[in-house]
Protein backbone atom coordinates (compact mmCIF):
# COMPACT_ATOMS: atom_id res chain seq x y z
CA UNK A 1 0.00 0.00 0.00
CA UNK A 2 0.99 3.55 -0.46
CA UNK A 3 0.47 6.81 1.41
CA UNK A 4 0.75 10.07 -0.43
CA UNK A 5 0.72 13.54 1.05
CA UNK A 6 0.49 16.72 -0.99
CA UNK A 7 -0.25 20.39 -0.60
CA UNK A 8 -1.95 22.59 -3.19
CA UNK A 9 -3.42 26.05 -3.60
CA UNK A 10 -7.01 26.84 -4.50
CA UNK A 11 -7.63 29.07 -7.53
CA UNK A 12 -10.46 30.88 -5.76
CA UNK A 13 -11.66 31.37 -2.21
CA UNK A 14 -12.67 27.93 -0.94
CA UNK A 15 -16.39 28.09 -0.22
CA UNK A 16 -18.38 25.57 1.78
CA UNK A 17 -20.10 24.53 -1.47
CA UNK A 18 -16.75 23.63 -3.04
CA UNK A 19 -15.74 21.65 0.05
CA UNK A 20 -19.11 19.85 0.16
CA UNK A 21 -18.74 18.89 -3.51
CA UNK A 22 -15.14 17.65 -3.11
CA UNK A 23 -16.08 15.58 -0.05
CA UNK A 24 -19.19 14.09 -1.62
CA UNK A 25 -17.39 12.97 -4.78
CA UNK A 26 -14.25 11.90 -2.88
CA UNK A 27 -16.14 9.77 -0.39
CA UNK A 28 -18.08 8.04 -3.15
CA UNK A 29 -15.06 7.37 -5.38
CA UNK A 30 -12.63 6.53 -2.58
CA UNK A 31 -15.00 4.10 -0.91
CA UNK A 32 -15.38 2.29 -4.24
CA UNK A 33 -11.61 1.74 -4.63
CA UNK A 34 -10.55 1.45 -0.99
CA UNK A 35 -8.82 4.81 -0.71
CA UNK A 36 -8.84 6.45 2.73
CA UNK A 37 -7.42 9.75 3.86
CA UNK A 38 -7.78 13.19 5.26
CA UNK A 39 -8.30 16.64 3.77
CA UNK A 40 -7.42 19.78 5.67
CA UNK A 41 -8.25 23.25 4.41
CA UNK A 42 -6.51 26.33 5.70
CA UNK A 43 -6.94 29.66 3.92
CA UNK A 44 -6.43 28.88 0.22
CA UNK A 45 -4.36 25.75 0.86
CA UNK A 46 -5.32 22.11 0.74
CA UNK A 47 -3.34 19.45 2.60
CA UNK A 48 -4.45 15.94 1.70
CA UNK A 49 -3.34 12.40 2.52
CA UNK A 50 -4.37 9.48 0.33
CA UNK A 51 -3.86 5.86 1.40
CA UNK A 52 -4.61 2.71 -0.52
CA UNK A 53 -3.20 0.29 -3.05
CA UNK A 54 -0.51 1.78 -5.28
CA UNK A 55 -2.86 1.71 -8.25
CA UNK A 56 -5.85 3.25 -6.49
CA UNK A 57 -3.75 6.06 -4.99
CA UNK A 58 -2.02 6.77 -8.32
CA UNK A 59 -5.31 6.89 -10.23
CA UNK A 60 -6.99 9.08 -7.61
CA UNK A 61 -4.01 11.44 -7.46
CA UNK A 62 -3.97 11.70 -11.26
CA UNK A 63 -7.60 12.80 -11.26
CA UNK A 64 -7.10 15.27 -8.44
CA UNK A 65 -4.08 16.73 -10.22
CA UNK A 66 -6.19 17.58 -13.26
CA UNK A 67 -8.80 19.41 -11.16
CA UNK A 68 -8.90 23.08 -12.22
CA UNK A 69 -10.06 24.17 -8.76
CA UNK A 70 -6.49 24.06 -7.49
CA UNK A 71 -2.90 24.32 -8.74
CA UNK A 72 0.71 24.29 -7.54
CA UNK A 73 0.35 20.77 -6.29
CA UNK A 74 3.45 19.63 -4.46
CA UNK A 75 3.96 16.06 -3.29
CA UNK A 76 5.40 16.18 0.19
CA UNK A 77 5.71 12.48 0.92
CA UNK A 78 5.15 9.17 -0.78
CA UNK A 79 5.58 6.18 1.51
CA UNK A 80 5.06 2.47 1.27
CA UNK A 81 2.91 1.50 4.23
CA UNK A 82 1.60 -1.71 5.72
CA UNK A 83 -1.08 -0.12 7.89
CA UNK A 84 -3.40 2.79 7.31
CA UNK A 85 -3.38 5.79 9.62
CA UNK A 86 -6.69 7.18 8.34
CA UNK A 87 -8.43 3.88 7.75
CA UNK A 88 -11.75 4.93 9.20
CA UNK A 89 -12.36 7.71 6.67
CA UNK A 90 -12.99 7.49 2.95
CA UNK A 91 -12.06 11.16 3.25
CA UNK A 92 -11.89 12.80 6.66
CA UNK A 93 -12.10 16.56 6.78
CA UNK A 94 -11.05 19.39 9.00
CA UNK A 95 -11.80 23.01 8.24
CA UNK A 96 -9.26 25.68 8.88
CA UNK A 97 -10.22 28.87 10.53
CA UNK A 98 -8.47 29.81 13.69
CA UNK A 99 -6.67 26.74 14.92
CA UNK A 100 -5.60 28.58 18.04
CA UNK A 101 -9.21 28.97 19.13
CA UNK A 102 -10.53 26.28 21.43
CA UNK A 103 -12.78 24.24 19.15
CA UNK A 104 -10.56 24.19 16.08
CA UNK A 105 -7.40 23.58 18.11
CA UNK A 106 -9.02 20.66 19.90
CA UNK A 107 -10.27 19.19 16.61
CA UNK A 108 -6.82 19.46 15.05
CA UNK A 109 -5.12 17.99 18.12
CA UNK A 110 -7.52 15.04 17.96
CA UNK A 111 -6.74 14.52 14.27
CA UNK A 112 -2.99 14.72 14.73
CA UNK A 113 -2.85 12.57 17.87
CA UNK A 114 -3.17 9.18 16.13
CA UNK A 115 -0.49 9.98 13.51
CA UNK A 116 2.53 8.01 14.67
CA UNK A 117 4.76 8.79 11.69
CA UNK A 118 6.95 11.73 12.79
CA UNK A 119 7.33 13.17 9.29
CA UNK A 120 3.58 13.13 8.67
CA UNK A 121 2.95 14.70 12.07
CA UNK A 122 5.50 17.39 11.25
CA UNK A 123 3.74 18.33 8.03
CA UNK A 124 0.38 18.54 9.78
CA UNK A 125 1.59 20.66 12.67
CA UNK A 126 3.54 22.86 10.23
CA UNK A 127 0.46 23.35 8.06
CA UNK A 128 -1.59 24.34 11.09
CA UNK A 129 1.07 26.84 12.13
CA UNK A 130 1.36 28.37 8.65
CA UNK A 131 -2.17 28.36 7.30
CA UNK A 132 -4.62 27.98 10.14
CA UNK A 133 -3.71 30.65 12.65
CA UNK A 134 -5.76 33.77 13.26
CA UNK A 135 -5.70 36.12 10.26
Q: Which residues lie below 8 Å from residue 75, measured CB to CB, with a gap of 6+? A: 4, 5, 6
CB of 119 to ligand FMN, least distance (A): 21
Question: DSSP characters for 64-105?
Answer: HHT-TTEEEEEEEEEEE-SS-SSTT-SSEEE--S-TTSHHHH
**Which of 64/128 has CB closer to ligand FMN?**
64
Binding site for ligand FMN (CB under 6 A): 22, 25-26, 29-30, 39, 46, 48, 60, 63-64, 67, 69-70, 91
- Decide if 22 contacts 93 (C-beta within 8 A): no
**Which of 8/99 has CB closer to ligand FMN?**
8
- Report the C-alpha gap between 87 and 101 in whole angstroms: 28
CB of 43 to ligand FMN, least distance (A): 13
**Which of 34/97 has CB closer to ligand FMN?**
34
DSSP count for the chain of H helices, then E strands = 4, 5
CB of 65 to ligand FMN, least distance (A): 8
CB of 52 to ligand FMN, least distance (A): 10
Amino acid sequence: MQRLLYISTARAIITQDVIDDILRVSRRNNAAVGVTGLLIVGGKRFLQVLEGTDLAVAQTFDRIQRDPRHFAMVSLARQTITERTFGSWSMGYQAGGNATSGESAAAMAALIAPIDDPMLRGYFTGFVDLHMKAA
